[in-house]
């Protein structure tokens, strides 16, 4: 299934993908093995569902709930 | 030989994201972090392999933007990035969910990986020369 179709069918969910195809750091397609809104539950399903797949990944179809700022200094809003 | 690899960077408000494979089968997006001495992986990524916290080989205190937290240390049998494969490689493991890191990547790739080779970041075409 293509990434565009996955995003359309499972908006704002974590997706467990088998044999993902990548273009650089972006997933372009893969086999949907499991999906849900809880990252932990989706990741914990992997051992039971990965049989027969060479590689697996877990990816989020939406944008991060918060901006992905990181590092020692990061914005906390306007003072 | 130098290897050129693409990263995702959506602008000044975002991190540089690369693709990494661990233990030969789990692939993930990781943030490139030249400000981190050690590579850190979200516990949830290891759970995908059925690895449990009992397999931790130690702990260490880590200073984060949210204060000091305890990280477990795990030995990855393999970490693959941009043509480089590291064996029995120690990484810090933190439960991102428990520490309120709601990110769409699986960890931070630190200087312990990047310093294995010379690297150059090219923002114009979002690529990294490594090797």
> Tens digit of pLDDT for each residue in B82-123?
999 999 999 999 998 888 777 889 999 999 999 999 999 999
How confident is the model at residue A69, as a pLDDT? 53
Quote ipTM for the complex.
0.89
Percent of chain B whose pLDDT exceeds 70:
99
Report helix, strand or coil for B45.
Answer: helix
Task: Indicate whether A74 pLDDT > 90.
Answer: no
Contacts 24+ apart (CB under 8 A), B16-20: B16/B121, B16/B126, B17/A25, B17/B105, B18/A24, B18/A25, B18/B81, B18/B82, B18/B109, B18/B128, B19/A22, B19/A24, B19/A25, B19/B81, B20/B79, B20/B80, B20/B81, B20/B106, B20/B107, B20/B109
Selected for mutation to probe chain A from B11, B19, B100, B111 (highest A CB count within 10 Å) is B19
Closest CA to B56 of B71, B77, B42, B41: B71
Task: Indicate whether A75 pLDDT > 60.
Answer: no
| Global pTM value | 0.89
How confident is the model at residue B68, as a pLDDT? 84
Q: Residue B26: which pLDDT band, with cuts at 50, 70 and 90?
A: very high
Smallest CA–CA separation between B130 and chain A, in Å? 14
């Amino acid at each position: 299934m293509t990434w565009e179709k996955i995003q359309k069918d499972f908006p704002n969910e974590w997706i467990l993908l088998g044999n993902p195809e990548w273009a650089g750091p972006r997933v372009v397609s893969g086999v949907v093995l499991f999906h849900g809104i809880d990252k932990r539950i989706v990741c914990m399903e992997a051992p039971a569902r990965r049989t027969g797949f060479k590689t697996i990944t877990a990816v989020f179809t939406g944008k991060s709930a918060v901006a992905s700022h990181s590092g020692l200094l990061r914005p906390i809003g306007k003072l | 030989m130098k290897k050129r690899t693409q990263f995702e960077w959506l602008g000044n408000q975002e991190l540089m994201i690369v693709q990494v494979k661990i233990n030969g089968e789990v692939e993930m997006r990781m943030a490139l972090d030249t400000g981190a001495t050690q590579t850190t992986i979200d516990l949830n990524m290891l759970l995908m392999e059925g690895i449990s916290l009992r397999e931790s080989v130690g702990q260490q205190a880590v200073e984060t933007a949210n204060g000091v937290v305890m990280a477990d240390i795990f030995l990855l049998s393999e970490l693959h990035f941009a043509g480089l494969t590291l064996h029995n490689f120690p990484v810090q493991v933190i439960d991102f969910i428990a520490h309120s890191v709601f990110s769409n990547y699986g960890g931070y790739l630190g200087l312990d990986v990047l310093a294995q080779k010379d690297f150059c970041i090219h923002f114009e075409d979002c690529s990294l020369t490594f090797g």
